Amino acid sequence: MEEQLIGDSIRPGSTRLLWLALLLGLLGSAGCQTEGDYFFLERDGAVMPIWVRGNVDSRTLLLMVHGGPGDSAQWYIESQAFKALEARYGVAYWDQRGSGTSQGAPPASTFTVDEYVGDVDAVVKLLRARHPIDRLFVIGHSWGGFLATAWLLDPAHQVGVHGYVMMDGGFDLAHGFELARQYIAQYAQAQVDAGVDVENWKAALAWATQNPPPPVDKDSLTRLSLYVAAVRGYQWNATGSEITFERLFLSPLDIFAYLKNQTEALSHYDLAGLDLTAQMSAILVPTLITWGRHDGILPVALAQQAYDALGTAPQGKSVVVFEDSAHSPYAEEPDRWLEAVTTFIDAR
Amino acid sequence: MSPLFLVAALLAQAPTAAEAPSPSRLSVTAAYLGEEFFHPGGQLGLEYVVARHTWLSLVAGANLGGFVHYRYVTGLYLDAALGARATTASGFVVELLGDVGSLHLFPDGPVYQVPSAGGAPVQVANLGRPAFRFGGTLGLGADLARTKLEWPLSLTLRLGAFGETDFRGTAQAHPEALLCLAWQLR
């Protein structure tokens, strides 16, 4: 009788707590993103995740080389454009060393362009070993546009690559940042002329028009980045936050590792000294260059520069400018970007 | 409820030594652990009341636990904890615990290497990486031994975070929630 009494007394609270524990466990396990092939590449101290998703049976694989340095390829997964790409092709999302949700303890000496290029090569070899690939395409966005370009400079790497999609790619960061400075100045002048928030825009104008401009060190890069955001140079039209409950709590992406990695990876590069223009004549693979008209960090003038620098024959390369986008046309004009990319891929 | 009000409420309810039951000093604990709240794990431990002054206790313990952050890491840890716990006469518990220990994190998936000299990629042993763990939690719960049930159990919800270091030269934070059941040994 006493046991029954105790049982009755304790049941309401304990049952709720048991349900809560069960719910947390179920959410934690059942809500996880289990699709696709997920594995790690260990190389020179870094343990880098690779997530192959989508229609791998198509035997066409797109390797996404993310921006940054320090960002994550896994941000692209939730976008409308990449979901649509996954419906047609396999897409491999790789987080670079010291970036995104990568692990390991890569020494500072491995944060070099050569090392990153070696990583790309190892990723491609690993992808080919795990999946049957008839056609391989590489997509490089922003910093990824630098890295993918750097990898493709070696003719041996171009073998078996059916095409390259450069999206607002940072192949010439030195010139890109100078163009960004000019873009900020023009935008700020327009705001001053229109009488909008005059004091702040005057400060931006003063910074952007210093002559000679200050060297692009880390502090000025930070300032540049803040002004680019202010002139809507990353995102021309607000497309909503990429940070969702699922992303934060149920995906493989660890947001705390991501934030730490992002800071760390950026600290290792002298970005302003990186320019591949003179070497790009060695790239002969078909290339689609996509660019946002309002890109403030790598302005659209770079698109023609990339086109001119590539060694690809004119019939194998093209530029598509997205009039209502800044740095990420795949997010701001997904339908148009998708049409351009799938047309390019399906033609090869 | 402000902390001052909480302390005042605790003091108002503090039982005298004669009123308070005399629970055991040693407890066995089991907990559901949610790393970043939703990545499931568990923890087993022992806890000892080092000192007790009416409603306030100094507790020490040791725990063995683990969690799976799916497709990121599987973590295993062993830690030592120390903290303070306030328990009202009615059995309401507020506690603050800190811990330090050893944490080992394994990438949650197969790991491959690509030979630099050429050749096919090979799957390698997933040895993971060792780390130093430090953390703290704030807990709220009930000590059922203080209720009319007089069960030698307490149930506590702990919220906090632990740090993993070295990670990129400093530490990486892992928020955590623990639903902890402690059985007081007689």
Measured CA to CA in angstroms, residue B106 lies from A11, A82, A111, A297, B111 at distances of 39, 29, 23, 37, 10
How far separated are the first and last CA of chain A, in Å rounded?
79
Domain ranges of chain B: 23-184
User: Is the Cβ pair B40, A101 closer than 8 Å?
Assistant: no
Contacts of A211 (CB under 8 A, 6+ apart): none
Where do the H-state alpha helices sit in A294-333?
A: 301-309, 329-332
Contact B10, B89 (CB under 8 A): no
A252: preceding bond cis by omega (within 30 degrees): no
User: Is the Cβ pair B36, A249 closer than 8 Å?
Assistant: yes
Closest residue to B113, CB basis, from A21, A28, A42: A42
- Torsion angle (degrees, nearest 10) of CA A302, A305, A311, A317: 60
Of A252, A278, A272, A344, nearest in space to A40 by CA: A252
ipTM for the predicted complex: 0.86
Of A186, A141, A193, A175, nearest in space to A330 by CA: A141
Phi first, then psi, for residue A267 (nearest 5°) are: -70, -15
* Beta-strand pair A287-292/A317-322: parallel
Mean pLDDT over B161-168 rounds to 89
Residue A53 burial (CB count, 10 A): 20
pLDDT score for B59: 96
Contact B98, B81 (CB under 8 A): yes
Measured CA to CA in angstroms, residue B164 lies from A14, A260, A279, A307, B77 at distances of 33, 12, 42, 46, 11
Q: Which amino acid is at A184?
A: I
How far separated are the first and last CA of chain B, in Å rounded?
35
- Spatial distance between the Cα atoms of A167 and A332, rounded to a whole number of angstroms: 13
Q: Give, to the nearest 10 degrees, the angle between helix A173-193 and helix A198-208.
A: 150
Which class does domain A37-174+236-346 fall in? alpha beta
* Beta-strand pair A161-167/A135-141: parallel
Where do the H-state alpha helices sit in chain B?
A: 3-13
Strand ranges inside chain A, DSSP E? 37-43, 46-54, 60-65, 90-94, 103-104, 135-141, 161-167, 287-292, 317-322
Per CATH, the architecture of B23-184 is what? Answer: Beta Barrel (2.40)
Shortest CA distance from A99: residue in chain B: B168
Calculate how close chain B gets to A24, using CA atoms only, in Å.
6
pLDDT score for A249: 76
- Spatial distance between the Cα atoms of A287 and A289, rounded to a whole number of angstroms: 6
Contacting residues of B for A260, CB less than 8 Å apart: 167-168, 170, 172
A45 has a chain B CB within 8 A of its CB? no
- Spatial distance between the Cα atoms of B1 and B9, rounded to a whole number of angstroms: 10
pLDDT in tens, B92-130: 999 999 999 999 999 999 999 999 888 899 999 999 999
Mean pLDDT over B80-95 rounds to 95
User: What is the percentage of chain B residues whose pLDDT exceeds 90?
Assistant: 71
Calculate how close chain A gets to B179, using CA atoms only, in Å.
7
A348 has a chain B CB within 8 A of its CB? no
Substitution target in B67, B70, B150 with the highest count of A β-carbons within 10 Å is B70
B115 has a chain A CB within 8 A of its CB? no
Domain ranges of chain A: 37-174+236-346
pLDDT score for B15: 45
Q: Which amino acid is at A149?
A: T
Length of chain B as a residue count: 186
pLDDT in tens, B25-68: 999 999 999 998 889 999 999 999 999 988 999 999 999 999 99
* Beta-strand pair B170-184/A46-54: unpaired
Residue B5 reports pLDDT greater than 50:
no
Coil, strand or helix at B53: strand
Taking the model in full, what pTM does it have? Answer: 0.86
pLDDT score for A32: 67
Closest residue to A24, CB basis, from B34, B113, B116: B34
pLDDT score for B155: 95
Contact B30, B43 (CB under 8 A): yes
Q: Place B14 in a pLDDT band, splitting at 50, 70 and 90.
A: very low
Exposure pattern of B126-157 as b/e (b: 16+ CB <10 Å)? eebbebebbbbbebebbbbbbbeeebbbbbbb
A29 has a chain B CB within 8 A of its CB? yes
Strand ranges inside chain B, DSSP E? 26-35, 39-53, 56-69, 73-87, 92-107, 111-113, 122-124, 129-143, 153-167, 170-184
All residue ranges of chain A with pLDDT < 70 are 1-32, 211-218, 239-242
